[in-house]
Structure 1
Amino acid sequence: MRLNCGQPLPLLRHTDVPPRVIENFILTGYRFPNYSLRECLLSAFRPTNETGNFWTHFLPVFVFSFYFVEVFGWQGAPHGDSPFFYPFWNYFIGVFCLLMASSMAHLLNSMSLVVREVCFFVDYGTISAYTVGSSLAYYYYIHPQAGIVKRGSHNGSHMELEHEPAEPLTSSYAIPEFGMFFDTFYIPSACLVAIICILSCCNTRQRWRKHRYVIRTLVFLLPFLVSSTPVFYRLLTRSPYSSTSSSFAASSSTSTFFYRHCFWLVVSAVFNISKFPERLAPGRFDIWGHSHQWFHCCTFLSILDELHMIKAEVKAILLSPTLLLPHDTLPLLPGPTVASTYGVMLLLQTTIISIIVWFSWQANCIYGPERDQLAKEHPKKHLKCH
């Protein structure tokens, strides 16, 4: 029951909300799962057990954007709408959607039990899309032949740029066996794995619930391994840049950023699975400091280091007098196009939306009756204040 005197709905204990809403070791601070949209939005500014979850992914949107746009001001960088930056923009779309969907899912999930399910289906979908956005950036900026043309022969830190049609273009792979995978299967594999991930994560909301946190964490290990293949390749082989060039110096930080990226991912996984620190003191970290907030912080730090890694490779390409992306002449691998970047993401997003719609329909069939029953038992009567 609610009084229309500007008073927010009271927060509840775990014993007063449906079992579906209860989080492990979180005892208080629950919003009743029948909030209006306005009440959900206003709850961002009051201490609930979801407030920290919202802000730890909403504020990073602005931090990420600040570091992202820095690239377009670099000397020698092409215009922001140049094909060179198509993969970079797709990476931005992936990260932006992930952070916004995650923050909104935590803010709006108390509208109803069905809305709660839909919110987190969308959350899982944006995580999958983010992994493909990362893959596109890796493919075109870190991939050993990513639209980059090598021509002529080395002369110190420079390579002759005159095209010699009589000399065929040769593979620059240090490990030729990976050529077919990188050129043909890398992006399709990243998309396929992303689809497997959203299917698996959505299923954990309807079955496998006992081990849902472990499954969700481990299932995203697969896209990490597939997407990071170009980085693993780069770390295991010789740099494509001359050791005396400015490009080599710019890309030398790639390994550091990647190791830090991996470190934060591992730490976030530990928080997500272990449910520390609230496991040690149930009820003490209900509002601030529980594991999901730390999970959000660590995942964003991993994304930030990933961004710095990609920027280091972009700078290396822009500084290189011998590697062009793309060029008038036919490269070993075509440079980024609308179809190979935005087209891939559009096709993936269409597939993901279809999956979300299917699971949302199932959720409505399962939880719709319970939602309606809760609405009858707890009607929102507007009474006058005296």
Structure 2
Amino acid sequence: MRECFIFSRYRRPNYTVMECLCSIFQPTNETFNFWTHFIPLFFFLHMFYNFVFNNMEVSYDHPFILPMLCFAFGVSMILAESCATHGLNCLSLQLRQTFYYMDYVALNFYGFGFAIACYYYIFPLLTVMNPTRRIWLMLPIIFNVSRIPERIWPGQFDVIGQSHQWFHLLNFLTIYDQLCYLEYGFTSLVKSPSIIPSCKEANEIG
């Protein structure tokens, strides 16, 4: 299947798994789509690991960590699924469609995980989302829908610089901004003992 305004560097259908894996190191129109989510995946896994296990405020087994784990699961799932989609979508036409359907499933897990984290870390502070965060949410959508820059210069961004790659990079910045936002809310609430129960109190409640 061909994308609008992308003319070349397509992989042929019915690749083997090994050919798919080798292709992510070759200049195809999926190469940077893969790497722009593969590298952020390990970046966020590292950040979530530090947040959970190297947290100076609470221990890793404190119940108040759980909403962040929900967010971490959603982020990891959407990035890993995106990597699988862009890396393996030429195995067959049927698998291509399956991978893209799973992309939407992962997107819902990510949104659900972020909503849970916001409910526990942000809503108690009644913090209003500032305009910068609204921009981060809108920019990826604008690039993905407008097909800019390849709409303006068709065929010039077949390998690098196409709108979907900008969509990925801006998604990375959006998730990073969300993580900073959640860490701020988490730290603010943890420093308010009257709001957050201790681990012992939380276990007694449970």
Same fold (TM over 0.5): yes
Structure 1 residue 294 corresponds to structure 2 residue 166: yes
| TM-score, normalising length: structure 2 | 0.91
Residue identity matched to 2:57: G
Stretches of structure 1 lacking an aligned partner (at least 5 in a row): 1-20, 145-230, 236-254, 338-386
The equivalent of 2:56 in structure 1 is 75
CA contact (8 A) 2:63 2:199 kept: no
Which residue of 2 is the match for residue 311 of structure 1? 183
8 Å contact kept, 1:91–1:130: yes
Cα 1:69/1:290, change in 2 over 3 Å: same
In structure 2, how many angstroms separate the alpha carbons of the residues matched to 1:140 and 1:30? 45
- Secondary structure of the residue aligned to 1:321 is coil
Q: What's 1:280 paired with? A: 152
Shift of 1:76: 2.8
Distance in 2 between residues matched to 1:100 and 1:260, nearest whole Å: 27
- Give the 3 Å change call, closer, same or farther, for CA 51–327 of structure 1 in structure 2: closer
Q: CA offsets per residue over residues 47-88 of structure 1, 9 Å max, x none? A: 10000100001100122123223324232322x232221111
Deviates more, 1:43-52 or 1:261-270: 261-270
Identify unmatched segments of 5+ residues in structure 2. Answer: none
Supply the distance in 2 between the matched residues of 1:116 and 1:89 (Cα, whole angstroms).
30
Which residue in the other structure is 2:8 paired with? 28
- Residues 262 and 302 in structure 1, CA contact (< 8 A), matched pair in contact too: no
Structure 2 distance, partners of 1:74, 1:24, is 46
Corresponding residue of 2:99: 119
Q: Match of 1:234, SS?
A: coil
Whether contact under 8 Å (1:84, 1:326) holds in the other structure is no
**Distance in 2 separating the partners of 1:67 and 1:93:** 13
C-alpha separation in 1, matches of 2:56 and 2:201: 24
- The TM-score with structure 1 as length reference comes to 0.50
Q: Distance in 1 between matches of 2:186 and 2:64?
A: 9
Task: State the one-letter code of the partner of 2:63.
Answer: P
Root-mean-square deviation (CA, aligned residues, Å) is 2.1
Q: What is the CA-CA distance between 1:325 and the residue it aligns to? A: 3.6
| Cα distance per residue 1:126-157 (max 9 Å; x no partner) | 0011000111111222232xxxxxxxxxxxxx
Larger Rg: 1
- In percent, how many aligned pairs have the same letter? 38
For 2:82 and 2:68, locate their aligned partners in 1 and report how far apart those are by CA, in whole Å.
21
Report the alpha carbon displacement of residue 322 of structure 1 after superposing the two structures with TM.
2.7
How many Å separate the matches in 2 of 1:83 and 1:328?
A: 10
Q: Given residue 267 of structure 1, which amino acid in structure 2 is its aligned partner?
A: L
Partner SS, residue 193 of structure 2: coil
In the alignment, is residue 140 of structure 1 matched against residue 117 of structure 2? no
Distance 1:57 1:76 in 2: 30
1:268 and 1:289 map into 2 onto residues whose CA distance is 14
Q: Are residue 324 (structure 1) and residue 196 (structure 2) matched?
A: yes
